[in-house]
Amino acid sequence: MKRIFLSPPHMSGNEQKYIDEVFKSNYIAPTGEYINRFEQSIIDYTSTKHAVALSSATAGLHLALRVLEIGQGDIVLASSFTFIGSVNAILYQNATPVFIDSDESWNLSPKLLKKAIKELPKKPKALIVTHLYGQVAKLDKIASICKEEGIYLIEDSAESLGASFDGKQSGTIGDLGVYSFNGNKILTTSGGGMLVSNNKEWIDRARFLSTQAKEPFLHYEHKEYGYNYRMSNVLASIGVAQMEVLDSRVQRKREIFEFYQSELEDISEISFMPEISNSRGNRWLSTILFDKTNPMRVIEALEKENIESRPLWKPMHKQPLFKDSLAFIDGTSQNLFERGLCLPSPTALPFNELKRVTDVVRNICR
Ligand SMILES: *Cc1c(COP(=O)(O)O)cnc(C)c1O
């Protein structure tokens, strides 16, 4: 039986051609025409004003905090129900993370966000909100709370490229947004990220910091420290080819979700991750919840059939790393974690192959 992966890379067909062009030009470097083209393709697609291509989304979040001058003693609020890459940068900056639980949307709870702001002894500087599994958080409420309170809003759109809220692309509604092009994301450059904003100063500064903070002299002058975070031109050429098929990838991911929904909807103990009104997610991973069945049993049964699946993200407030961190929690994300499962969502696989997945799930729940 051929292995079914969770979210394997799916090339458009033009990647190799563009890589060949990069090799012909010999710009095998963190500079070159394809980096500009990749940034422009993100600007065009998302209608953001400025973008900088980076080695990862984690690097993008780090630069976001750096350009906002967030450091020691500053509080950064963050979704608890997320991947560690979302919050590592808070630690890089020696800032203090405070975690916020989810609500019925699975994403950050605006109610708990308000409570946190009210009860914390000090005003938080920023919020990093994750759009989990490509489904958009309640951005209207969250953005207006941040605006009222004077808190910077950073969108972790690592999983949600192509998703939209109120007709606007995820990642472009807050002050800054990041996308990831890691190997398992909806598009991939094997590894990479993009930081976007409508604020030119911030993106210019992020670009400067991403290339070792070199002052504009030939002799390598430095007034402050930077990073080596720029994307390679080779990888950017893969990104340009991937952006050409983003719409069809989102469409296919959504069809995969609909396939699972229609195949499993008669099993009463199974439910699905919601899509909040006014939004259109990219359904990066199709995720389900069980009322009775232990998801670990399903994972094991799928593995026996050579099918990859994963638990949902383990909440940050439950991680040993953050055992001493403050968190505003009502148990929602822990409950989802204990009951949930990510199903394979490979865009290149025909539905008759995905039937192998639903057959196993049906068998266990019977
Ligand atoms: C993948 C991911 C990241 C990190 O992206 P990289 O490009 O691998 O650094 C951050 N946040 C979330 C929610 C992710 O899923």
Å from CA of 225 to ligand 1 middle: 24
Q: Which mutation among 91, 182, 190 tests ligand 1's pocket best, with the greatest number of atoms within 8 A of CB?
A: 182
Residue 215 sits in the same domain as residue 358: no
Number of domains forming the structure of the chain: 2
Bridge partners (DSSP) of residue 96 are 75
Q: Do 85 and 207 sit in the same domain of this protein?
A: yes
- Distance (Å) from CA 256 to ligand 1 centroid: 22
Q: Which of 186, 213, 243 is the last residue of a domain?
A: 243
184 occurs within a structural domain: yes
Q: Are residues 82 and 158 in the same domain?
A: yes
CATH of the domain at 210: 3.40.640.10
Q: From ligand 1's centre to the CA of 60, what distance in Å?
A: 10
Determine if ligand 1 sits within 6 Å of the CB of residue 86: yes
- Hey, whose CA ends up nearest to atom 14 of ligand 1? 158
Tell me the DSSP string of 208-240.
HHHBTT--SSTT---SS---B-BPPHHHHHHHH
Coil/strand/helix, residue 84:
helix
Q: What is the pLDDT along the chain (366 residues), one digit of tens a residue?
A: 899 999 999 999 999 999 999 999 999 999 999 999 999 999 999 999 999 999 999 999 999 999 999 999 999 999 999 999 999 999 999 999 999 999 999 999 999 999 999 999 999 999 999 999 999 999 999 999 999 999 999 999 999 999 999 999 999 999 999 999 999 999 999 999 999 999 999 999 999 999 999 999 999 999 999 999 999 999 999 999 999 999 999 999 999 999 999 999 999 999 999 999 999 999 999 999 999 999 999 999 999 999 999 999 999 999 999 999 999 999 999 999 999 999 999 999 999 999 999 999 999 998
Report yes or no on 1 lying in a domain. no
User: What are the b/e assignments for 27-58, b being 16+ CB within 10 Å?
Assistant: beebebebbebbbebbbebbebebbbbbbbbb
The answer to whether residue 21 sits within a structural domain is yes
CATH number of the domain bearing residue 325: 3.90.1150.10
**Domain assignment of residue 276, given as a range:** 246-365
In a domain, 8, yes or no: no
Q: Of 217, 243, 269, which closes a domain? A: 243
* Residue 326 Cα to ligand 1 middle (Å): 22
